């Protein structure tokens, strides 16, 4: 594996006052830059991690990262505030994909994918403290560690707004439900 560190200029006015305190597992926040650590396999499985490197997936990911640090608001559909499904819906809608209005709807409407086949740009779903065993949260896969199956994802967190988290963080590790593919 090779570790790639990407530095992305933060959007003007999109700073989150909690960003420096957020548990981001590999993401470092500075006022002017967001650094993202990505694992790149050296065994030829690059396409699995990055969704085949398609221009469309990369364009979707670029749109998603434009919103890092934007605030969470229940029912927020963007572009200035988001809830989790509002964020994923907004990002895909900018590319003419209607994926569903709620996290449950997005889970039901999109193509099921085995966790071992997950790739960049897929939707990942979790339960939430309010949803019981049902779908209650959604994010977009940023990268996949093919060695251990862990992944990072960008999502609208109720506490921190739009951030990148790791599947290995305790809260998400216990609540993972499944993967769906839009593209």
Question: Would you say 78 and 57 are in contact if contact means Cβ atoms under 8 Å apart?
Answer: no
* Non-local CB neighbours of 9 within 8 Å, separated by 6+ positions: 32, 33, 34
29, 67, 84, 155: the active-site residue: 84
For residue 103 the two structure tokens come to 């996290």
Where is 106: in which H helix or E strand? helix 103-109
Q: Is 110 a catalytic residue?
A: no
* Two tokens, residue 55: 């221009």
Q: Is 145 a catalytic residue?
A: yes
User: Is 67 tagged catalytic?
Assistant: no
Cα separation of 124 and 142, whole Å? 10
Count the residues in the chain: 183
Of 29, 67, 110, 137, which is the active-site residue?
A: 137
The residues assigned a catalytic role are: 84, 137, 145
């Amino acid at each position: 594996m090779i570790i790639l560190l990407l530095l992305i200029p933060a959007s003007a006015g999109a700073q989150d006052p909690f960003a420096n305190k957020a548990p981001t597992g590999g993401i470092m926040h500075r006022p002017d830059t967001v650094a993202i650590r990505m694992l790149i396999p050296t065994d030829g499985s690059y396409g699995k991690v990055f969704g085949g490197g398609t221009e469309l997936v990369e364009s979707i990911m670029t749109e998603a990262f434009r919103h890092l640090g934007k605030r969470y608001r229940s029912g927020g559909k963007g572009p200035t505030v988001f809830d989790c499904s509002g964020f994923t819906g907004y990002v895909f809608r900018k590319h003419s994909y209607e994926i569903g209005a709620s996290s449950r709807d997005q889970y039901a409407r999109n193509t099921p994918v085995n966790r071992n086949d997950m790739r960049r740009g897929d939707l990942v779903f979790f339960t939430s403290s309010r949803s019981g065993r049902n779908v209650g949260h959604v994010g977009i896969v940023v990268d996949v560690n093919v060695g251990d199956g862990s992944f990072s994802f960008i999502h609208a967190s109720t506490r921190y707004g739009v951030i990148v988290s790791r599947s290995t963080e305790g809260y998400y590790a216990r609540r993972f439900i499944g993967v769906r593919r839009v593209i």
